[in-house]
Structure 1
Amino acid sequence: MEKFLIKKPKSTTVEQPSGSVDVNQNENYKRKFRAEWLQSFDWLQNKDGSAFCVACEKAIDNHNAHLKVHEKTATHIRNCESRKKQHTLEMFYDPEQEKQHITVRNAEFALVMFCITHNLPFLIMEYLPALLVECCPDSSIAKLIKCGRTKSTQIAEIIGKKANDRVFETLRNTKFSLIADETTDISTTKSLVLVARFVDSARVVQDRFLALLEVTKSDAVSIFQLIKQFFNTNNIPLKNIIGLATDGANVMAGDAGGVKALLNKETNFFFMTCTCHSLHLCTSYASRHLPKSIDFLCRNIYNYFSHSSKRINDLKEFQEYCSVEPHKILGVSQTRWLSLEGVVARLIEQWDSLKLYFISCFYEVNGIRPAQLAEEMCANTKCYFLFLTYILPIINNLNKDFQSESSRLPYLYSNMKSIYLLIINNFVKHDVCIKETNIDFRSESNQKPLRDIFVGTKAEIFMTKHLSEDDIIEVKRNILSFYVELLNQINNRFDFNREDIKMLQIITPAKVLSQEDLQILPLILTFSELVDCDPDQITSQWNLLRLSDVNLSADMDIDTFWSKLCRG
C-alpha cells in the first residue's frame, strides 16, 4: 500500500500532553488518483490529481470504495439522469456532415468559376444544378448544390475581392511591370485597363488583371492621376513599378507630357510600346500602297454573302464545280489584327468559284454589285492577294510570338532584326545586304531591278503565266512601295539602337548555354536602378553557371529554363 500513499511534509506541532489524541495524525497521507478509475466511472474526471464528479460537480476522496458509494447515492443518480438530457456542443457538430458541407461549397465555387472563365451568364446557374442532379442521380453532393443566379453573383464578388487582395498583397512586396491601355465599350464609356506582370514565389511569370477604371478625361495628366490614385488607395508603392507597356499614342508614350514622362518622375522603369499593336500599324500603313481593290474585295465579298442564305447555297454549286471545299467567306475585323491573313487565304482558295458565281449572277439578273466584284477579280488583283499570302504570315507569326503568355522580350531584338533583314533581302541588291539594320534601302541604286524583286513563289509563278511584262513591272512597283513603307514604319516604331533591348539577348537559354564570351556586368549596370542587387554576387553566379555542366536544353522556354535553374 505504500506506493499509493503521498507523504505530506511534516508540520510543526506543539508537543501535547501525554494521553491526548493528535488530530493531524490521519491527515499526513493522501491517496493518488488512479487512471483505471476513469474506465469504471464515466462520470469521473481527474482534476489536479483529485477525483471529481462532473455530474454533481464536487470532489471525492481518492478511494475506490468512496467512488462506489458516491455512485449509488440518490443525488448522484438524479444528477446523472439530468445530465443525459442536456445538449452539448458535440451533439451539434458532425464531422462527416461538416466534410460534406465543405465539398458542396467547393462544388458551388467551381461552377461559378466555370461561368466566369468561359464568360457565361449567371442565369445558367438557375438550371445547371438541376441538370447535374439529373445527370448524376446517385450523387449526394449534386443534390445538395443550391446555387442560383443571386448566390452566384455574390460568390463571384467574394472570389474577385479575395483574388484582388492576394494580388495587391503580392505587389506591395514585389517588383512588377504595368500594362496599361484605353478602350471604349459599346456604350461609349471609355475605360483604362491595368494588368500587372510579376514573378511569383514559385519563380513563374504571372499576368494578373488589376482594374478597369472609368476615364472621364483622356489627357495624360488625368490618366496618370487615375493610375496614381489607384495604387495609393491599395497601398502599392509606385517604386515597385519597374516596367511599363502601352500603345504608341502620344498621350501614353509621349516623352514630354505623356503618362510615361509623368510616371518617370515618380520611379525609374523600363518602357516598351506594344509590339503587336506596332506591327499591325506597320502593315496597315504599308497596305495603303497597294491597289484599293484589295480592301474593296475583302469587305464587299463578305458583305454580299453575310446576310443571305440563298446566295450561300447558290455558291455551293460553283464550289462543287470547281472542286473546292464549301467554306464560308470570312470578314475583316477592325479589332482582330491577324484576321486579314485568314480573309486573304480564304478568297484565294475560293477565287475561281467566286468569280464564276459573280459572272453568272451578272448574266442572269444583270446585277450591278456582282458585275463590280467580278470586274475587280482580275489577274493583277489576284497577284496582290498571292503576295499577301506570302508577306502576311511573316508579320503575323512574329505578332503571334509576342502574344504568347511566356516572356518574349529577350527575343524581341533578334526576331525583329531577322524579319527586317528578310524583307530587305527581297528587294535590295545582295552586294549591299549586310547583317545590320543601317542599310539605305530607300536608295534606288541599292535596290534590285523591278523584275528581280521577290514577291513570293506563288505570286511569281502566277505572274509568269498570266501577266504581260508591263503588268508584272506595275505589280512589282507597287509591292516595292509596300516593302519600303513597311520598313519605314518598323524604323519609326522600333529603335534598333536601344542597347538595353540588345543586351537582354544574353539571358536567353541559347546564349547562356553557348560558348561565346558573354559578360553579365553590362546588363546589370544597365538595369541597376530598377532592381536592388549585388553586382559581384550576380557576376560570380553567372561565371559559375557558364563553367558548370548544366543539364538543360537551349530550346527550352525561357521561363522554364530560369525556373529550373533557380530551383537548382
Structure 2
Amino acid sequence: KTIDAPFSTTTNELNRLSAAEGALVFHGVKHSHSYLSQSCSIDMMKKCFPDSSIAKNITCDKTKTREIACNVLAPLFTNTIIRDLKNVSYFSISYDASTKGNAKMLPIVAQYFSTFGINHGIIEFIQQQHETADKLFFNIKYVLESNELKLEQLSSIGSDNTNVSIGQHHSVFVLFNQLVPGLIQGNCYCHICHNSVKHGNDHILFDIESAVLKIYAHFSRSSVRLEELSNYFDFIEQEQEVILQHIRLRWLSLLQSIERLIVVYPVIKSYFLNIAHRQCPKLLLEFFTSNKGECSLYFLKNVLIEVQEANLQSQRYYTTGVNLYSIITDLLRGLNNRLRDDYFGSKVMDLLEKIQHTTEVDDLKKSFRSFIQTVIQYIESYCQDRSLFYKSISIFSETDIETIEWKSIEYCTTYINTTNIDKDCLYNEFNHIRSKYVGIKDTFGGIYKQVQNFNSSNLVSTKQIDTTLDNVCDINVQNNCDTDNEEQDVKFHKEHKNHFIRCDQLWAYLLYDENVPNLRKLIEFAFSIPASNAFCEPIFSHMKFYGTIIETT
C-alpha cells in the first residue's frame, strides 16, 4: 500500500506524471511560450492522446505552470549552477540592465569552465531603482555572498561598456577591483564593433543609414505605395523582397538592410525616379542620382561584412577571452590590408572608374579611408592596453596541444595569484597532458571523434530507465546546449568541411579524471574571461513571461 493509495495512483505513476509536467514546462520556458499558451497546449494534448493515462491526468493551468517554473525548475537549475561555481577556482560575472517602469531589471550571469567545457548560468535576477555604481556593486556583491561564493574566485566583471560599469574613477569594476586586485575588466566586443562603425559613419559623404530608414518608412506607411512597387517587380519579373528596417541601437544591423536594398536596388531606384518630383524625398532623390550615394552603399556592404563576422564570432556561446585575440587581430589585419591596398570592393572600384571628375573620386576615397581608420582606432582604443593579456591566454584556443610551449604557459601564470600555483607541479602537469594528447590524437578514430564521443557521454550518462522529475531535470540541465545560440553554432559547424573541435571541449576531455590541479586552475581562469555580453542581453526577451524578480536594496 502506497502513501497515495487514496488517489488511486501508484508512486511510480505519480513520478512519471510529475516528470512529464516538469519536462513540458521546461520546454515551454526554453522556447519562450507564455503560461497561457502552455495551458492551452496541455488541453490539446488531452484531446489528442485520450488513451494515455499521463496525458489524461496532467493538470498544468497557468498558475501551476508558473509555480513549476519558478519554484521547482528555477531553484534546481540555480542550485546546479551554484554547486558548479563552488567547485571551480575561477568564474566571471556579467550583467546587463533594462528599464521597466521606473526600475532597472538586472540579470547576474556567471561564466565558468565546467567538466564538459564552457558554461553560463543565471545566478539571480534582481530589481533596483537606480543604476548607480554603488547600488550595482552592492547588489552583485550581495548575490555572491548570499550564495556563499568567494570573491577570490572572481576573475572578471563583464558588462556593456557603460561608464557606470567600467569607468576609470568610480565604477562597478573599480569598486570590485579594490576588493579583488588583478581583476580583469570584461568589455563587450560586440558593442565595440557596433560603435566603431557608428563612429566611422561620420566620415561617409552620404548618410546611408538615413536613406535606408527613409526608404523603409516610405513603404511601411502606405499599402498603395507597396502596390505600386509590386507592379515594378512584376514588370521586370523579379520576386518582390521586403525592405528591412534598420535598428539604430544595433548599428551593424544596417548590413542586412543594405544587402536587401542592393538586391532590389534597380527596382527601388526606378520607382523613386519615376514618381512625381515633389513626392520623392529630397534625400532619396540625391541618393539615387548622385555618385556618392551608390558608391557609399556598396562600400559599406563590402566593409561591414568583415566587422559583422567578428561581431558574430564574439557572440557565440562558447567564445571566451581565449578566442578574442585571434578574432580582433584578424579583423584589424583585414582592415589594415584594405588601407594598404586602397581597396574598397570591386563594385566600388568599378563605380569610381566611371566618375569623370578626379576631385570627386579623391573625396570618396578619402572618406572611405577615414571610415576604416576610425573603425581601427576605435577598436584599438579598447584593445591596446589588454592585448598582451589576451594574447597570453589565447594559447588555450590552440587545438594542436603539441605546439604549445612551456614558456607560454609560464607567462600566462603572471596574470593570476601565483600563490595558488605550484610552478614545478604545473610544469609536470602540462607535460603530462601534452604527452597524453600526443599519444591519443591519432587513435580511436582521431581526436575529433574522441571529443565528440566524450560530449555525447555527457548526455547519455544522465539518462535512467526509471524516469523521475529529478532525472528529467538533470538531463535538461546537462543538455543545456540545446539553446538557440548553440543550434546556430551546430549549423555553423556543419557548413565547414573540416572537423571543428571546440577548444574548451578539447581541454575538458584532456583534463577529465586527471589529477592536474594547477593546470586546471590556469585553464579555469582563462576560459572564465568573457568576450562579450552576448549571453546577458537576450535574457530580457526570455524573461518576458517567466521569472521572479527579487528586489535587493
Q: 2:328 aligns with which of 387, 395, 416?
A: 416
Q: Give yes or no for contact 1:390–1:455 (8 Å, CA) kept in 2.
A: yes
The equivalent of 2:381 in structure 1 is: 492
The equivalent of 1:473 in structure 2 is: 362
Q: Following the alignment from structure 1 to structure 2, what is the Cα–Cα distance between the partners of residues 344 and 393? A: 11
Q: Give yes or no for contact 1:401–1:408 (8 Å, CA) kept in 2.
A: no
Q: Following the alignment from structure 1 to structure 2, what is the Cα–Cα distance between the partners of residues 534 and 244? A: 26
Q: 2:97 aligns with which of 154, 168, 183?
A: 183
Q: CA offset at residue 324 of structure 1?
A: 3.7
Q: CA offset at residue 173 of structure 1?
A: 4.0
> CA deviation digits over 1:494-539, x for unaligned, max 9?
126642211112222346233767542121233235x933322221
Q: Give yes or no for contact 1:176–1:196 (8 Å, CA) kept in 2.
A: no
Q: Following the alignment from structure 1 to structure 2, what is the Cα–Cα distance between the partners of residues 566 and 424? A: 39
The equivalent of 1:276 in structure 2 is: 190
Q: CA offset at residue 228 of structure 1?
A: 1.4
Q: Give yes or no for contact 2:4–2:11 (8 Å, CA) kept in 1.
A: no
Q: 2:287 aligns with which of 376, 385, 405?
A: 376
Q: Following the alignment from structure 1 to structure 2, what is the Cα–Cα distance between the partners of residues 174 and 354? A: 57
Q: 1:566 aligns with which of 495, 511, 514?
A: 511
Residues 335-344 or 276-285, more deviating:
335-344
> CA deviation digits over 1:259-294, x for unaligned, max 9?
112111222432221111111111111111113531
Q: CA offset at residue 188 of structure 1?
A: 4.7
State yes or no: 1:126 paired with 2:15: no
Q: 1:266 aligns with which of 175, 179, 204?
A: 179
Q: Following the alignment from structure 1 to structure 2, what is the Cα–Cα distance between the partners of residues 92 and 100? A: 12
Q: Following the alignment from structure 2 to structure 1, what is the Cα–Cα distance between the partners of residues 230 and 260? A: 15
State yes or no: 1:462 paired with 2:407: no
3-state secondary structure, aligned to 2:97: strand
Q: Give yes or no for contact 1:509–1:556 (8 Å, CA) kept in 2.
A: no
Q: Following the alignment from structure 2 to structure 1, what is the Cα–Cα distance between the partners of residues 141 and 159? A: 16
Q: CA offset at residue 396 of structure 1?
A: 0.8
Query: Match for 2:416: what amino acid?
Result: F
Q: Following the alignment from structure 1 to structure 2, what is the Cα–Cα distance between the partners of residues 411 and 234? A: 30
Q: Following the alignment from structure 2 to structure 1, what is the Cα–Cα distance between the partners of residues 57 and 168? A: 59
Q: Give yes or no for contact 1:192–1:213 (8 Å, CA) kept in 2.
A: yes
> CA deviation digits over 1:405-461, x for unaligned, max 9?
114322222221222122122223xxxxxxxxxxxxxxxxxxxxxxx6211122112
Q: Give yes or no for contact 1:241–1:267 (8 Å, CA) kept in 2.
A: yes
Q: 1:535 aligns with which of 402, 423, 434?
A: 423
TM-score (norm 1): 0.74
RMSD of aligned Cα (Å):
2.7
The equivalent of 1:199 in structure 2 is: 113
Q: Following the alignment from structure 1 to structure 2, what is the Cα–Cα distance between the partners of residues 400 and 89? A: 55
TM-score (norm 2): 0.76
Q: Give yes or no for contact 2:399–2:506 (8 Å, CA) kept in 1.
A: no
The equivalent of 1:438 in structure 2 is: none
Query: Match for 1:476: what amino acid?
Result: K
Q: CA offset at residue 465 of structure 1?
A: 3.5
Q: Following the alignment from structure 1 to structure 2, what is the Cα–Cα distance between the partners of residues 195 and 393? A: 30
Q: Give yes or no for contact 2:198–2:251 (8 Å, CA) kept in 1.
A: no
Q: Max radius of gyration: which structure?
A: 1
Q: Following the alignment from structure 1 to structure 2, what is the Cα–Cα distance between the partners of residues 89 and 497? A: 64
Q: CA offset at residue 342 of structure 1?
A: 0.1
Q: Give yes or no for contact 2:286–2:293 (8 Å, CA) kept in 1.
A: no
In terms of fraction of residues, the more helix-rich structure is 2
Count of residue pairs brought into register by the alignment: 453
Q: Following the alignment from structure 2 to structure 1, what is the Cα–Cα distance between the partners of residues 360 and 412? A: 52
The equivalent of 2:304 in structure 1 is: 392
Q: Give yes or no for contact 2:196–2:378 (8 Å, CA) kept in 1.
A: yes
> CA deviation digits over 1:72-102, x for unaligned, max 9?
xxxxxxxxxxxxxxxx769938997322222
State yes or no: 1:507 paired with 2:396: yes
Q: CA offset at residue 242 of structure 1?
A: 1.7
Mark the CA change 1:177 to 1:90 in structure 2 (over 3 Å): closer, same or farther: closer
Q: Give yes or no for contact 1:179–1:195 (8 Å, CA) kept in 2.
A: yes
Q: Following the alignment from structure 2 to structure 1, what is the Cα–Cα distance between the partners of residues 428 and 326? A: 27
State the identity as a percent. 22
Query: Match for 2:36: what amino acid?
Result: L
Q: 1:401 aligns with which of 313, 321, 328?
A: 313
- Alignment gaps of 5+ in structure 2: 442-446, 449-498, 514-553
3-state secondary structure, aligned to 1:228: helix
Q: CA offset at residue 403 of structure 1?
A: 0.6
3-state secondary structure, aligned to 1:473: helix
Mark the CA change 1:101 to 1:310 in structure 2 (over 3 Å): closer, same or farther: farther
Query: Match for 2:372: what amino acid?
Result: Y
Q: How does 1:59-74 map to 2 (within 5 A)?
A: none
Q: Following the alignment from structure 1 to structure 2, what is the Cα–Cα distance between the partners of residues 516 and 115? A: 48
Q: Following the alignment from structure 2 to structure 1, what is the Cα–Cα distance between the partners of residues 276 and 3? A: 87
Q: How does 1:42-191 map to 2 (within 5 A)?
A: 92=5, 97-158=10-71, 159-185=73-99, 187-191=101-105
Q: CA offset at residue 361 of structure 1?
A: 2.5
Q: Give yes or no for contact 1:413–1:496 (8 Å, CA) kept in 2.
A: no
Q: CA offset at residue 490 of structure 1?
A: 1.4
Q: Following the alignment from structure 1 to structure 2, what is the Cα–Cα distance between the partners of residues 221 and 294? A: 41
The equivalent of 2:233 in structure 1 is: 319
> CA deviation digits over 1:146-165, x for unaligned, max 9?
11111111111112123223
- Alignment gaps of 5+ in structure 1: 1-87, 429-451
Q: 2:413 aligns with which of 513, 524, 530?
A: 524
The equivalent of 2:213 in structure 1 is: 299
Query: Match for 1:347: what amino acid?
Result: L
The equivalent of 1:447 in structure 2 is: none
Query: Match for 2:199: what amino acid?
Result: Y
Q: Give yes or no for contact 1:509–1:555 (8 Å, CA) kept in 2.
A: no
3-state secondary structure, aligned to 1:265: helix
Q: CA offset at residue 344 of structure 1?
A: 0.9
The equivalent of 1:51 in structure 2 is: none
State yes or no: 1:218 paired with 2:163: no
Q: Following the alignment from structure 2 to structure 1, what is the Cα–Cα distance between the partners of residues 122 and 66? A: 19
Q: Following the alignment from structure 2 to structure 1, what is the Cα–Cα distance between the partners of residues 34 and 511? A: 42
Query: Match for 2:240: what amino acid?
Result: P
Q: Following the alignment from structure 1 to structure 2, what is the Cα–Cα distance between the partners of residues 322 and 492? A: 49
The equivalent of 1:290 in structure 2 is: 204
Q: Give yes or no for contact 2:205–2:292 (8 Å, CA) kept in 1.
A: no
Q: Following the alignment from structure 1 to structure 2, what is the Cα–Cα distance between the partners of residues 497 and 124? A: 47
* Higher RCO structure, 1 or 2 (CA under 8 Å, sep 6+): 2
Q: CA offset at residue 318 of structure 1?
A: 1.4
